[in-house]
Amino acid sequence: MRIVLKNGQRIVKENELERIDIAIEKGIITEIGKNLTGDKEIELHEKLVTPGLVDVHVHFREPGFTDKETIRTGTQAAARGGYTTVCAMPNTNPIPDTKEKMAAVRSLIDRDACINVEPYAPITYGLTSEELVRMNEVEAFAYTNDGVGVQDAGTMFLAMVQAAKYNRPIVAHTEDNSLLFDGVMHEGFKSKELGLPGIMGIVESSQIARDIHLAKETGVHYHVCHVSAKDSVAAIRSGKMQGVNVTAEVSPHHLLLNEGHIPSDDANYKMNPPLRSEEDQRALLEGFLDGTIDIIATDHAPHTEDEKSGGFMNAPFGIVGLETAFALLYTQFVKPGVFSLEFLIDRMSKIPARLFQLRQAELRVGSVADLAVFDLDTPYTIAKEDYRSKSSNTPFNGKTVYGMCALTLYNGAIVWNNEKDEVEK
């Protein structure tokens, strides 16, 4: 069957758009032009068509924590956000640190995912040990202990040596536990105001500085998760200037918010790393604009409403992000002209796919038809009841945005249709 997307718009350059029709057959884009016809025609009413988004940092909680999220609900949430490829973190139960456990995760993905999911393997057994996973046995596109920092420099060095041998990235949650002091939010004026223990920026930046030296020595591709602090940006910029193969991501919430936006002891504002100072936030945007920070990654981290009701001291870290990331960033930064639409899409699609050698669509004949369609003109107020994720823990509920995803196709099949308000497998 020949499917034709009618009267969409694609990015020509920066914010310049061009009206097109796209024909799809057997999951492949077969023609791009005007006035195309097909067996099934879908009218897009001049909405934006892009390659499917790519997120290298999500938590789907399965196996082990299916009250928060599952692979089925997580990929449905991703499809609603316009994502067609995501990378799932290994802090599950059990942790996929053996060949057999990884095979079980892949089996769940094959059974339940409606889009492409690439699972990470851990760097060390159990995430917190110093015994390295055998990368020749536990195969994955990349290795990470996300959720905890690798505390021992020798362990990280040997992990980098092994990863470089197999040409795999090391993806680092950077956090020096000896500097944490039981902090639950950024150490700044808001932590003092609320009387809560703070987390210093050096908790993150000191480990990044250490790891960049190790990456320089080993030649590994070293990727920094969810950068949040100004000194971290400076360390990454310095590493790039020295020729180190270091890349980095920033989460939407760290670009959009700082500690001053936290209204009270509300754990929907609790994430790790925390919302930092306005100065840190400005440094993140500057680093994003100048290429020090390469990509956007949501760090989608679902928790139950009950878990998040306990305030900063008792609630777990993390917020959901897949379903609203593009719309929030488009509304806050593209509409006011801070950066272009092309700039944003590249950093949410093309660049993460290239950096990690992931599946990636392009708007060209012969490409796989992994596509997202965004409505740039219709306002939408983010509502808890609309989520496809099992969870709704985020400070952005109630915010009005533009650019919600109207349609997502994976392998040429519709996996999200906003008009029908449904996700399809």
User: Residue 59, annotated ligand binder?
Assistant: yes
Q: Where are the domains of the chain?
A: 2-48+365-423, 52-356
Residue 112 bears catalytic tag:
no
pLDDT of residue 425: 42
3-state secondary structure the chain: CEEEEEEEEEEEECCEEEEEEEEEECCEEEEEECCCCCCEEEECCCCEEEECEEEEEECCCCCCCCCCCCHHHHHHHHHHCCEEEEEECCCCCCCCCCHHHHHHHHHHHHHHCCCEEEECECCECCCCCCCECCCCCCCCCCEECCCCCCCCHHHHHHHHHHHHHCCCCEEECCCCHHHCCCCCEECCHHHHHHCCCEECCHHHHHHHHHHHHHHHHHCCCEEECCCCCHHHHHHHHHHHHCCCCEEEEECHHHHHCCHHHCCCCCHHHCCCCCCCCHHHHHHHHHHHHHCCCCEECCCECCCCCCHHHHCCCCCCCCCCCCCCHHHHHHHHHHCCCCCCHHHHHHHHHHHHHHHHCCCCCCCCCCCECCEEEEECCCCEECCHHHCCCCCCCCCCCCCEECCEEEEEEECCEEEEECCCCEECC
User: Residue 57, annotated ligand binder?
Assistant: yes
Q: What is the pLDDT of residues 252-299, one digit of tens each?
A: 999 999 999 999 999 999 999 999 999 999 999 999 999 999 999 999
Q: Do domains 2-48+365-423 and 52-356 have the same CATH topology?
A: no
User: Residue 10, annotated ligand binder?
Assistant: no
Question: Which CATH class name applies to 2-48+365-423?
Answer: mainly beta
Q: pLDDT-derived band of residue 359, with 50, 70 and 90 as boundaries?
A: very high
Average pLDDT in the 71-85 region?
A: 98
Structurally, what CATH architecture does the domain formed by 52-356 represent?
Alpha-Beta Barrel (3.20)
User: Residue 318, annotated ligand binder?
Assistant: yes
pLDDT above 90 coverage of the chain, percent: 98
Question: Which residue in the list 21, 55, 280, 299 is annotated as catalytic?
Answer: 299
pLDDT of residue 420: 75
